[in-house]
Structure 1
């Protein structure tokens, strides 16, 4: 396909101006001259540099990758039709049916944004992280510093890349082996439903080659075990060990998993979450 750089730039600016910071889960800042997002805010939400977003809007950066366009579409809370329009304006084919969707519906993003006090991460069927809030970054470390392809839970568990050592250590109450097995089972289920997805196939082949544990689970796991509430201990460098309830909420019609962490009110762990909330607020306040 042929890119229309002026069209891509115009869409990017128009949709950035359209999105309310509140709907994106950003705090209201005094002295805003426009109702939409600032470039710095879009860059933060998409996990891109501010300079790169500026160059995209000024048509000085051409031929953005599918991963970049997908991240921008999610950050701008585009509908499927708008997402496809953005892909085409960048000279790319939109994501095809039969592959793992990375699209997060705007309603899901608005819902998650309004739950800003809770660490939330949204994952694809292949356990790739495609959306997170500031509390997630405060709890687990900032995913935006990782390459897009590395933001995958299976890679964090079994791989040897950047993500493997980036997240703070997490211990599942029902056992790490059972948790790992459930992730592999989910991937096996995803492969059966998305056999044409090249990225998912590459992920599985790489993990089978590099991890004996993954290969063992892949060979022995026959069906995805139903996810239930688990309690996770996060070994956090700032607040120490924090024990939280971890719930996985499925998004009907979108094949997404929304992972949330909560603590009972009045507990020491809830107090530690409050401390992390201060960190998250400081990060938001540090935006230019």
Structure 2
């Protein structure tokens, strides 16, 4: 990941602390024999070097909205210039112990499915199969006109051809801070103003990353699949999500309403803490590893 500034893996990420062990033992007791719906967020991927949005120490960010992206050509140009840098960070990230622990729970037949708010595809890279990418995927691009889907790698080749030397020029000025949605901090206004956006090769339409922007609705079929995962489960395990946005918060609220236990493991408070049967304020990888070997 040369040229990128990222969050280092947290110290001690593979072993729970002495203070966390009693809470994890309670969680294991509550979930013993249960089929789990697993909901994950950006806090799961911090140990892979991908910064989260709202965890302690996170740099405040205001992501671009869908309305801004489609309605303002200058903002769209800025977005693609930043994304052309930031997507490389996610492409080179590797699954961490938490992703492998979730995949292990699935292999053991202990999950009804995995719902992730992350677009980084690290669950799949770790071997998980039944995953709903609730907010979409960073590795695909969709045309908003003809709905053609292409790989982000293919688009990268096109953008390289349209903007030769852009990446090298920006990276030469210092490390790049990337975000979990493949965005990157970029302040070089002169380079941004010269950045050329690619159009759909099929119809010339507007291209957009194939993930959900703020102000955009999650596709109905993904929401329905996610509810079905919760319905098929005995309990809901939330790992690494602040549950700030309703797209994720709806599931612990629904689980609680239907009488299912909700366990939340997250560093810092969440908007769904009032739904939790047990809440562990901690990094998620150690807790997930603990549960994968004791359920």
Q: TM-score range by the shorter chain?
A: under 0.3
- What's the TM-score, normalizing by structure 2? 0.27
Considering Cα pairs closer than 8 Å and 6+ residues apart, tell me whether 1 or 2 has the greater RCO: 2
- What's the TM-score, normalizing by structure 1? 0.27
Question: Which structure is higher in helix share?
Answer: 1
